[in-house]
Amino acid sequence: MSSPHIRLSKQGRPTFMSSELQNGYMDLHSMSDSEKVVHELLLQPPAKEVDDHLIEFSEAMRTVAKALRRVAEGKACAQAEAAEWKRKYELERARNLQREHTGPLSLDCDSEVDRTKCTNDQSVPKHFPSERPEKCCGKNGICSHEVLRNGEMESNSNNVSNRFRRKASFRLSWGCNGSGQHKHDIVSFERGNITTAERSSKQISLKWESPPQTLLILAKPNSVPVRLLCAEMVRWLTDQKKIEIFVEPRVRTELLTESSYFSFVQSWEDDKEISLLHTKVDLIVTLGGDGTVLWAASMFKGPVPPVVPFSLGSLGFMTSFQCEQYRECLDSILRGPISITLRHRLQCHVVRDAAKDELETEEPILVLNEVTIDRGISSYLTNLECYCDSSFVTSVQGDGLIISTTSGSTAYSLAAGGSMVHPQVPGILFTPICPHSLSFRPLILPEYVTLRVQVPYNSRGHAWASFDGKDRKKLAAGDALVISMAPWPVPTACQVDSTNDFLRSIHEGLHWNLRKNQSLDGPRDS
């Protein structure tokens, strides 16, 4: 007697067919055996082949979706790079055409009339002397006048207020202690604002071409010494230096409560005026700790004027000036030249899983210290997939991940085991938080890369992203955070230079390598 054959129907149910049935007959004995087989199979769990195929197909579709996201991200980066090269090409072409018709451009702005032409013209200047004087920028320097003017900026400023004055012009040079060979590919000027394509590892010096006229003071809240110092500083800058002062609405209310003398102090009313501050303010003074500097940086979504940070807080890694000597410090800074540190910021985009492509993102967020992705209140380990320029880096399993600037290397990243890095070193810090692996060590990546941190679909819980310790956002399965270096740094004034200030901050703030010296009365080599 031949054994029965078993096959699955279209509905996934077992059917049986013996060789006798195929030949057109079946005896009672074979029928009894078939019933036993049916009974045994019914006791077995149902077949899972169909479910397994669906799972495999679903995973394949997720892989395709990830590949499409990476392609779209690469396309967006390429479009942005092409637009930047197109802008540079059109700028150079306009300059070449101007030289052909009117001769070399002159960037001398000694007279008030020339300065007005340089700052208010909405296109390439049409009438310049035939020779370019050396005293404006020198042979290799870069002057803030050597830019195309944007007519939209002028029209927008007229709608806000006529009380603003034009910005002061300046130029940057760098080398050892502010001297040395100048380079054109580090710092570029767009409408008098600082942007960088890459960073210089040398000291950077700022020299005013025209004196600063407008100053913004940002003060730490809920502090009586800060409020008293702010009032005293406003009086001195107005009476002795003839500087126009801007403060936050809260600070202006406090000053007016103290005395009606401060009625000349200006402020703003809405976000539109805040977005135009960088076009009018020449200098920013912060009174507080590093948190006040972070607050100042968060106010400016684009270019940031030079910042003079005074130490009035508990930590001072970025606040190098002492409030007791504020008159001498500000007097020296207003005269110039001064050493500055260009502190880069990270630009973060949240891409939701429901987005059609990588270009459909939420409003970008700029951070000066770090962006942190953690597990929040969940008891499960954070599960994150990390990519660097579309190349897979690693899967993070632990409490979370810190993506930090070099300026933020002495903040949360240092507490999580990251290295202290000089703020002028170009790089992005990749630091895990309590990783579930002994071999997971921190990384320092080049600043030109784009990082993508995604919550996988099989993650047990959600992740939370915080930006400089605030603005927490929930990241569900499939959501991603795209991080790159922002083109607008935060220039902070140095008391001596960036290296001296950095070393002093880690010695005084962290007591770095502080220990007793070894005794000299012990045994010595003969």
Q: Are 264 and 242 in contact (CB under 8 A)?
A: no
Exposure of 249 in the CB half-sphere (CA atoms within 13 A): 6
Q: Which residue has the higher pLDDT, 195 or 130?
A: 195
Here the tokens at position 100 are: 């052909």
Contact 299, 291 (CB under 8 A): no
Q: Torsion angle of alpha carbons 279, 281, 286, 287, nearest 10°?
A: -140
Strands 470-475 and 463-467 turn out to be antiparallel
Kindly tell me if the per-residue pLDDT of 367 is higher than 90.
yes
Residues 183-222: b if buried by 16+ CB within 10 A, e if exposed = eeebbbbbbbbbebeebbebbbbbebbbebbbbbbbbbee
Percent of the chain whose pLDDT exceeds 70: 71
Quote the strand ranges of 136-228, DSSP E. 142-143, 170-175, 187-190, 193-196, 203-208, 214-219
Percent of all residues in the chain with a pLDDT value above 90, rounded to a whole number: 41
Provide mean pLDDT across the span 278-289.
91
Cα–Cα dist 139/506, whole Å: 38
- d(Cα 474, Cα 306) in Å, to the nearest integer? 34
Residue 37: the pLDDT is 59
Which residues face 308 on adjacent strands?
Answer: 285
* 290 classed as catalytic: yes
Question: Of 199, 205, 194, 178, nearest to 405 (Cα)?
Answer: 199
For residue 517, CA distances in Å to 506, 513, 514 come to 19, 11, 9
40 confidence band (pLDDT: 50, 70, 90)? low
| Nearest by Cα to 246 from 260, 230, 265 | 265
Instruction: Read off the pLDDT of each residue in 512-526 and give the average, rounded to a whole number.
Output: 79
Whether the full predicted model's pTM is greater than 0.85, yes or no, is: no
Residue 336 pLDDT class (50, 70, 90 cuts)? confident
> Do 343 and 321 meet the contact criterion of CB atoms below 8 Å apart?
no
Contact 340, 308 (CB under 8 A): no
Six token digits for residue 122 = 């909405």
Residue-range domains of the chain with CATH: 346-488 (2.60.200.30)
Q: Which of 108, 239, 270, 290 is catalytic?
A: 290
476-505: pLDDT as tens digits: 999 999 999 998 999 999 999 899 999 999
Q: Which tokens in the block code for residue 88?
A: 């540079």
- pLDDT, tens digit, 9 for 90 and up, residues 244-256: 999 999 999 999 9
What is the C-alpha to C-alpha distance for residues 210 and 217, in angstroms, rounded to an integer? 20
HSE-up (13 A, CA, CB side) for residue 462? 12
Question: And the tokens for 430?
Answer: 């990749």
Q: Give the max Cα distance, the chain.
A: 118
Q: In this predicted model, what pLDDT tens digit does every residue of 86-95 receive, in sequence order?
A: 777 777 777 7
Considering only 60-64, 91-95, 205-209, 424-428, which range has the smallest mean pLDDT? 91-95
